[in-house]
Amino acid sequence: MAGMWQCQVVTSASIAGAVRQGSLRELNLAVVLRRIAAADHPPSRAGLAAGTGLTRATVSAVVDDLIAGRLVAEAEPPPRTGAGRPARGLVLAADGPAGLGLEVNVDYLAACVVDLTGTVRHHLVRRADLRPVSPADALARLAALAAEARAAAVRDGLTLAGAALAVPGLVGDGGLVRLAPNLGWRDVDVPALLAGHPLAEPVDGVPPLVVDNEANLAALGELHAGPPGSRSFLHVSGEIGIGAGIVLDGALYRGARGWSGEIGHFPVQPQGRPCRCGGQGCLEQYAGQEAILAAAGLPGAELPADTAATRLADLAGAGDPTTLAALADAGTALGVAVAGVVNLLDLDTVVLGGGYAPLAPWLCPPVVAEISRRVLTAAWSPVTVRPAALGAQSAAVGGATSVVRRIVDHPVGWLARTP
Amino acid sequence: MAGMWQCQVVTSASIAGAVRQGSLRELNLAVVLRRIAAADHPPSRAGLAAGTGLTRATVSAVVDDLIAGRLVAEAEPPPRTGAGRPARGLVLAADGPAGLGLEVNVDYLAACVVDLTGTVRHHLVRRADLRPVSPADALARLAALAAEARAAAVRDGLTLAGAALAVPGLVGDGGLVRLAPNLGWRDVDVPALLAGHPLAEPVDGVPPLVVDNEANLAALGELHAGPPGSRSFLHVSGEIGIGAGIVLDGALYRGARGWSGEIGHFPVQPQGRPCRCGGQGCLEQYAGQEAILAAAGLPGAELPADTAATRLADLAGAGDPTTLAALADAGTALGVAVAGVVNLLDLDTVVLGGGYAPLAPWLCPPVVAEISRRVLTAAWSPVTVRPAALGAQSAAVGGATSVVRRIVDHPVGWLARTP
C-alpha cells in the first residue's frame, strides 16, 4: 500500500505523460475513492486535491467518472450560513453497486445485501437443519434465497456487483469445499452445483461468486463494521463448530493454503473427548454450541445458533446456576485456547462473534481470567476481549461487505462494466 | 515490495529526471545488489541490465559504487574456452561488512561473525550457568566475548556493520528486556548496562545493537540458511525454554508488540503441572530440556542445551528404553502444540531447531503423528517436519545474518558510512 502511494506521488505531476494513461487513471480513481470512503466528513473537490497532491482539474475529472459510474454522490449541501455558495461534499453512493453475502450453515441459510456505504439493505434468513440435506439441494435453496435478495436489491435501484458465499469448512481453489465436517460436506464443487444459476455466470470473465470460510468472512465483516482502531485481532465465531478469523494489520491472514483459523480443533484436553475431526479433546467438544447446551441440561442440540444463544442468555440472565456453570466451563475452555493463540501471535484484541456475541457477558470473564493467568505479556499490555459488532450471521454481512470493499479498492473493474 | 519494483519500472527510463536523484540511486543500488545476492550464477553487468530494465550505463555506475563500498566483488573469470574475453561475474563481497550475532542464554554466551555472503567466519561459545549471575555481569562477559569476535573480524579485514543480541525472553522498545523467565531477568535495560562499550555507541546516529528474542533470530537464521523454498514456516527452538519464530511469506511475524511465538506456554495439559510463568500445563513442562532429562532419568538438568541434546541422542541411538519413552512423550506434547498452531495458521512446514535439532529423529515421528491426527487439512496437504539447517546457537547466527541482510536490502546506509 505504501508503495502504491509512493508511485502515485511520483507519477502525479510533470511526469504523468510518461506513464501508461490507463494505469494512471486506475491509480487516481482508487486514490480519490478511498479518500472519500475514509473521510469523516464529506470532502469537497478542493479538499481532495489538497489531500492527494493531484491537480484540481484531475480531481474534477476523476470525480465526474466516479459519479457517472454511481460510485460517488454529492451530499446535500449544508445550510447556508453566510455569503457564497457552500461547497458540496462527496460521499459514497448508496444507490450504485451492492454486494450479495450468502451463507450456508448447519441450521440456516442467509442472504444479505450491503450497499457501497456499508449499510445492510436486506437480510434474509431461512431456518432449516441442513445436515440431512444433500449439498445440491442445500445450494438450490440458497440460490432461491439469493434470487429473492437480488430482486429486493433491484427494487432499490441497486446493482449486485458480486457475491461471497460463507461455508463452515475448508475451501480450496475454485470454490471447492474440501470439508465442512458439521454439514457433512466433502469435496463439494459449489460452482458446478450452481451451474446455470446467475450466481455462477461470469460477468466479463469475472466469476461473480467467491466461496470462503465463514469465520474468515465474519472477521472481514468485523474489520469493516467494528470500532475503529481494531486493525489486528482474533475473531472467534461460536456456532455448532467454532472458527476463527485472524486479522493482522487490517488484512485477513489466510495461511499457506487459505485454511487458517481452525481454532475449534485446538486441543484443550489432549486426552479428552473424541471429536468428529478424528482428534481428541478439541475446543469444539467443550465450548461448541452442542457442548454448552448439553452442560446446561437443555434439550435441542439442533436449535439454531442464535436461538440457542438467546435461550442460554435468558437463563443465565435469570441466574440459572446450571447454565451459569456451563457458560463458565465453556468460557474457561475458550480462554485456554485463546490464551494459547495470544501467546503465539501477540494480539491485543479478541472478538467473540457469531453465537458467542450474545453470551459475551458470561464468556468474557473466564476468557479474561485464563488470558491473565497464561499470557506472559498480559502484565504489560492487557488484552481486550469484546463481543462482535455484528451479531449472528455476521459471515453473510462480512461476505457482502467484502464485495463492496473490493470495488472501493479497485474501482476500475466496476467502471469498465458500467455502460 | 511489489510497489517498490513497480516504482522502479515507472521511474527508470525517460522520467528519471523528475524523481529525486537520491531516492532513485537508493532504489537502483538496492535492486542491483539484491539481483546479485539472489543469482544462482554470478551475473555480468550486461545480464544485470537485461534483468532489471536499467540501462547498461546505469548498471555500470551502480556496480562501481557497490564495488567501491566493498559490497560487491568481481568473481574470478571462468577459464577461457574460446575466443574473446569472458565477462567477469559479480558476487557479494566476502571482505566487506559483516554482522555480529550475540546470544545470552541460560547456560551459554555466544558471539559469531557472518560476512555478506552468509558465511559464518567466527563462532565463539562460552559455557556458563548464567542463572546465578546478575544481568550486569552477564552483559560484561558478553561484551568481552564480543570484543574477541570483533578483533577476529578485523584480522580478517572485515568491518562490523552492526550487532544483534538474542535473549530468551520478551524484548520491549529500545532493547529493554521485559522478562526472561528462565534467566530470571525482569526489566533489564541492556543498552544502559552496556553504556561505554563500543556495542552501545551509535554510529552515525544508528544504534549498532539490536536486542531481539532468540526464537525470532533463530527463525531468521533458518530463513536465510535453510533450504530454498521454505518461505512460511514455524521454527521451534527447544532449550530449557521453548520459543517459536513464525515466518510468513519470507518475513518474520512479530505480533502487535513484537512478542509473538511464546509456544512454550501453549497449554498442552491445562490442568497439569504448574509452570514458572504462573500458568499450568505449559508445553515447557513436558517438552522443555529439563522435563525430558527428568523423564529420561538423567541427572544434570543444568547441562548446556547442546550437551544435553547430544547425551539424549546418544542414549536414544543406543536404544535406551527410558530415553526413547521420554522423547516419545516430549514429541507427543510438542505435536499437540504444533498441531494447534498448524490448525490455526495453516503452515506447511515445521522446523525443529536449537536443542531439538539433534533429537529430530526421535521427535519428528510423534510430532507428525499428532499433526496427522489433529490437523484437519493434513489429508490434502501434508505438513513437513524437519530439523533446522542451523544447529544449536542458531540464534547468534540468525542475528548476525539479519545484520548483513539489512545491508543487502538497504545498501545506502552502509555506503554513506564508507569513507
DSSP string for residues in A312-366: HHHHHHTT-HHHHHHHHHHHHHHHHHHHHHHHHH--SEEEEEETTGGGHHHHHHH
* Residue in chain A lying closest to B281 (CA): A374
Is B414 strand, coil or helix?
Answer: helix
Range of A77-91, A131-145, B1-15, B230-244 with top mean pLDDT? A131-145
Best of A336, A344, A350, A370 to mutate (most B CBs within 10 Å, chain B): A344
The answer to whether residue B83 scores a pLDDT higher than 80 is no
Contacts of A257 in chain B (CB under 8 A): 346, 348, 377, 381
Q: Count chain A–chain B contacts defined by CB atoms under 8 A.
A: 173
Task: Answer with the residue of higher pLDDT: B211 or A250.
Answer: B211
Is B8 at the interface with chain A, CB within 8 A? no
pLDDT at site B288: 93
* Residue in chain B lying closest to A4 (CA): B3
The answer to whether residue B114 scores a pLDDT higher than 90 is yes
CB atoms within 10 A of CB B111: 29
Amino acid at position B104, single letter: V
The answer to whether residue A209 scores a pLDDT higher than 70 is yes
pLDDT at site B259: 82
User: Counting beta carbons within 10 angstroms of the beta carbon of residue B310, is it exposed (0 to 12), middle (13 to 18) or buried (19 or more)?
Assistant: middle
Q: Which of A72, A36, A394, A410 is nearest to A243 (CA)?
A: A394
C-alpha to C-alpha distance for A161 and A147, rounded to whole angstroms: 14
Residues B126-144: tens digit of each pLDDT: 988 888 999 999 999 999 9
The answer to whether residue A151 scores a pLDDT higher than 60 is yes
pLDDT at site A21: 52
Angle, CA A153 vertex, CA A151 and CA A159 arms, to 5°: 110
pLDDT at site A53: 85
Residues B160-194: tens digit of each pLDDT: 999 999 998 889 888 899 988 888 999 999 989 98
Q: How close, in Å, is residue A62 to chain B by CA atoms?
A: 22
* Residue in chain A lying closest to B348 (CA): A256
C-alpha to C-alpha distance for B394 and B218, rounded to whole angstroms: 5
The rounded Cα B46 to chain-centroid distance in angstroms is 34
pLDDT band of residue A7 (cuts 50, 70, 90) is very low
- The mean per-residue pLDDT over the stretch A279-299 comes to 92
C-alpha to C-alpha distance for A381 and B307, rounded to whole angstroms: 37
Please judge whether A373 and B244 are an interchain contact, meaning their C-beta atoms are less than 8 angstroms apart.
Answer: no
Please judge whether B246 and A270 are an interchain contact, meaning their C-beta atoms are less than 8 angstroms apart.
Answer: no
pLDDT at site A11: 30
**What superfamily does domain A227-388 belong to in CATH?**
ATPase, nucleotide binding domain (3.30.420.40)
pLDDT band of residue A305 (cuts 50, 70, 90) is low
pLDDT band of residue A207 (cuts 50, 70, 90) is low
Please judge whether B257 and A340 are an interchain contact, meaning their C-beta atoms are less than 8 angstroms apart.
Answer: no
C-alpha to C-alpha distance for B379 and B369, rounded to whole angstroms: 12
- The mean per-residue pLDDT over the stretch B79-85 comes to 63
Residues B303-331: tens digit of each pLDDT: 666 678 889 999 999 999 999 999 999 99
Between A196-210, A273-287, A352-366, the lowest mean confidence (pLDDT) is in A196-210
C-alpha to C-alpha distance for B132 and A99, rounded to whole angstroms: 63
Contact between B110 and B396 (Cβ < 8 Å): yes
The answer to whether residue A8 scores a pLDDT higher than 50 is no
Is A265 at the interface with chain B, CB within 8 A? yes
C-alpha to C-alpha distance for B171 and B243, rounded to whole angstroms: 13
- The mean per-residue pLDDT over the stretch A171-197 comes to 88
The answer to whether residue B19 scores a pLDDT higher than 90 is no
Residue A100's alpha-carbon distances to A130, A160, A203, A419, in angstroms, are 21, 7, 15, 21
The answer to whether residue A75 scores a pLDDT higher than 70 is yes
pLDDT band of residue A20 (cuts 50, 70, 90) is very low
C-alpha to C-alpha distance for B185 and B191, rounded to whole angstroms: 15
The CATH number assigned to the domain with range B97-217+395-417 reads: 3.30.420.40
C-alpha to C-alpha distance for B138 and B414, rounded to whole angstroms: 30
Please judge whether A170 and B3 are an interchain contact, meaning their C-beta atoms are less than 8 angstroms apart.
Answer: no
Best of A232, A246, A374, A384 to mutate (most B CBs within 10 Å, chain B): A374
The answer to whether residue A200 scores a pLDDT higher than 60 is yes
C-alpha to C-alpha distance for B345 and A220, rounded to whole angstroms: 17
Grid cell of A198 as nine digits: 446467475
Is B46 at the interface with chain A, CB within 8 A? no
Among the partner residues B2, B269, B279, nearest to A374 by beta-carbon distance: B279
* Residue in chain B lying closest to A169 (CA): B376
pLDDT at site B18: 36
Is A257 at the interface with chain B, CB within 8 A? yes
Q: How close, in Å, is residue A335 to chain B by CA atoms?
A: 11
Is A206 at the interface with chain B, CB within 8 A? no
pLDDT at site B232: 87
Is B246 at the interface with chain A, CB within 8 A? yes
Binding-face residues of B in 56-85 toward A, CB within 8 A: none
Average pLDDT of chain B, as a whole number? 85
Is B244 at the interface with chain A, CB within 8 A? yes
* B201 Cβ contact partners less than 8 Å away, ≥ 6 residues apart: B208
The answer to whether residue B20 scores a pLDDT higher than 60 is no
Give the total residue count for chain A: 419
* B39 Cβ contact partners less than 8 Å away, ≥ 6 residues apart: none
Best of B271, B283, B341, B344 to mutate (most A CBs within 10 Å, chain A): B344
C-alpha to C-alpha distance for B247 and A215, rounded to whole angstroms: 23
Q: How close, in Å, is residue B264 to chain A by CA atoms?
A: 9
pLDDT at site A61: 94
pLDDT at site B284: 94
C-alpha to C-alpha distance for A275 and A283, rounded to whole angstroms: 9
The answer to whether residue B9 scores a pLDDT higher than 50 is no
Binding-face residues of B in 156-175 toward A, CB within 8 A: 170, 172
Please judge whether B263 and A343 are an interchain contact, meaning their C-beta atoms are less than 8 angstroms apart.
Answer: yes
Contact between B266 and B284 (Cβ < 8 Å): no
DSSP state of B203: B
pLDDT at site B44: 93
- What is the ipTM metric for this complex? 0.73
In this structure, are strands B384-387 and B349-354 parallel, antiparallel, or unpaired?
parallel
- The mean per-residue pLDDT over the stretch A101-117 comes to 93
Amino acid at position A366, single letter: P
C-alpha to C-alpha distance for B152 and B163, rounded to whole angstroms: 15
CATH 3.30.420.40 maps onto chain A at 97-217+395-417, 227-388
A2-92: CATH topology is Arc Repressor Mutant, subunit A (1.10.10)
CATH 1.10.10.10 maps onto chain B at 2-75+87-92
C-alpha to C-alpha distance for A384 and A95, rounded to whole angstroms: 37
Residues B263-311: tens digit of each pLDDT: 999 999 988 999 888 889 999 999 999 899 999 998 765 566 667 888 9
Please judge whether B170 and A255 are an interchain contact, meaning their C-beta atoms are less than 8 angstroms apart.
Answer: no
Give the total residue count for chain B: 419
The answer to whether residue A13 scores a pLDDT higher than 80 is no
Average pLDDT of chain A, as a whole number? 85
Q: Which of B63, B62, B90, B64 is nearest to B75 (CA)?
A: B90
Q: How close, in Å, is residue B183 to chain A by CA atoms?
A: 15
- The mean per-residue pLDDT over the stretch B86-114 comes to 91
Describe the crossing of helices A321-345 and A305-317 by its angle, rounded to 10 degrees. Answer: 120
Angle, CA A396 vertex, CA A393 and CA A402 arms, to 5°: 140
Contact between A385 and B295 (Cβ < 8 Å): no
The rounded Cα A216 to chain-centroid distance in angstroms is 7
The answer to whether residue A179 scores a pLDDT higher than 90 is no
Is B118 at the interface with chain A, CB within 8 A? no
Q: Which of B276, B249, B251, B272 is nearest to B262 (CA)?
A: B276
Q: Does domain B2-75+87-92 have CATH number 1.10.3720.10?
A: no
Q: How close, in Å, is residue A264 to chain B by CA atoms?
A: 9
> What region does A162 belong to: left with phi over 0, alpha with psi -120 to 50, or beta?
left
Among the partner residues A15, A260, A267, nearest to B339 by beta-carbon distance: A267
Residues A237-249: tens digit of each pLDDT: 888 789 999 998 8
The answer to whether residue A223 scores a pLDDT higher than 80 is yes
Best of B266, B370, B372, B375 to mutate (most A CBs within 10 Å, chain A): B266
Please judge whether A377 and B178 are an interchain contact, meaning their C-beta atoms are less than 8 angstroms apart.
Answer: yes
Grid cell of B308 as nine digits: 544435553
- The mean per-residue pLDDT over the stretch A304-321 comes to 88
Please judge whether B344 and A344 are an interchain contact, meaning their C-beta atoms are less than 8 angstroms apart.
Answer: yes
Among the partner residues A232, A255, A347, nearest to B347 by beta-carbon distance: A255
Contact between B115 and B158 (Cβ < 8 Å): yes
The answer to whether residue B203 scores a pLDDT higher than 80 is no
The answer to whether residue A393 scores a pLDDT higher than 80 is no
